[in-house]
Amino acid sequence: MILIKLGGSVITDKSAYKRFNKDIVSRLCREIKGSKKEVIIVHGAGSFGHVLAKEFELQKGHMNNGQIDAVAKVSRDVRELNGMIVSELISAGIPSVSVPTGSCFVMDDNELLINDDEVLRGYVRLGIMPVMFGDVVLDRKKGFGICSGDAVMRSLAILFEPEAVVFVSDIDGLYDRDPKVSKDAKLITDVDRDALDRIPPEMTVADVTGGVHAKMRTMLDMCSDGRDCILVNGTVDGRLEELLTGKKVICTRARK
Ligand code: IP8
């Protein structure tokens, strides 16, 4: 099984509140179907989550009651996004069901707890893909918090032990410096901890949450013997399908 995260920067337009990239999502779903691989998909929140979450500092937990309305709105907005993604998956021939992170699970001081996996495993056994996503989630210590799709990926990797983990983003991979600023920026195709430590974090392009450097660290944490984690550009037609079917494509591969 391959665990795939569709990043918020690909599935939405980050510059506009709640703008869904329907055509890209539809194509990516067809590419996943075309690959004939068994997958589990997680998605980010993009402009359906980050805009209000940032404005009301939801990631800091419950500080004031002015945040409560924003918790409800973010929750509503990311479910709306999830509904559109599940629709695209079903249209592409991938039976899928929404498993909203914040409705099914809690966090404890920012750590997502999936203590009961009956629902997730039950759907997978039936051949229906559970689709989780970055969400606002109740937190035992902080009242609520923001659980990123990356944190969901970490939990699902422990539960399902996928053979590979793929992060679909809007960039070709990790560069040694910001390619939008520097023409000499080089794509790093293979990265391990030592290689990542040599790249200054501020030199890499910022992604939805924390930047590519932070994402690479998460990816390295998810690597194990025989399991690579790959960052690939989903805005390029066909690239995800080629990667999933074992072709050589432009990407960054994190190895243990
Ligand atoms: O887009 C963030 O998830 P991400 C979740 O995976 C919210 O970082 C609600 C902002």
Does residue 51 line the site of ligand 1, with CB under 6 A? no
Our mutation pick for probing the ligand 1 site, out of 43, 59, 78, counting the most ligand atoms within 8 A of Cβ, is 78
Share of the chain above pLDDT 70, in %: 96
Pick the atom of ligand 1 nearest to 78's CA.
9
Cα dihedral value 216, 207, 153, 26, nearest 10: -130
More confident residue, 233 or 202: 233
Would you state the pLDDT for residue 210?
Answer: 59
pLDDT tier for residue 207 given thresholds of 50, 70 and 90 = very low
pLDDT at 206 over 70: no
Under 8 Å between Cβ of 26 and 62? no
CATH of domain 2-254: 3.40.1160.10
| Separation of alpha carbons 61 and 31, rounded Å | 38
| Cα distances (angstroms) measured from residue 199 to each of 173, 208, 253 | 13, 19, 15
Does residue 8 line the site of ligand 1, with CB under 6 A? yes
| Domains of the chain by residue range | 2-254
Does residue 7 line the site of ligand 1, with CB under 6 A? no
| Separation of alpha carbons 169 and 6, rounded Å | 7
Cα 247 → chain centroid: 22
| Separation of alpha carbons 35 and 54, rounded Å | 36
| Separation of alpha carbons 233 and 38, rounded Å | 20
Give the Å distance between the CA of 236 and the centre of ligand 1: 23
More confident residue, 119 or 216: 119
More confident residue, 184 or 43: 43
Does residue 145 line the site of ligand 1, with CB under 6 A? no
Would you state the pLDDT for residue 247?
Answer: 97
What is the phi/psi pair of residue 12, to 5°? -135, 165
Would you state the pLDDT for residue 104?
Answer: 97
Give the Å distance between the CA of 183 and the centre of ligand 1: 31
| Separation of alpha carbons 19 and 9, rounded Å | 11
**């918790």: which residue's tokens?**
71
Give the Å distance between the CA of 78 and the centre of ligand 1: 9
Give the Å distance between the CA of 190 and the centre of ligand 1: 26
Would you state the pLDDT for residue 69?
Answer: 98
Give the Å distance between the CA of 49 and the centre of ligand 1: 6
What is the phi/psi pair of residue 141, to 5°? -95, -40
Would you state the pLDDT for residue 213?
Answer: 80
What is the phi/psi pair of residue 172, to 5°? -70, -20
Does residue 43 line the site of ligand 1, with CB under 6 A? no
Cα 40 → chain centroid: 11
Our mutation pick for probing the ligand 1 site, out of 59, 82, 146, 218, counting the most ligand atoms within 8 A of Cβ, is 146
Mean pLDDT of the chain: 93
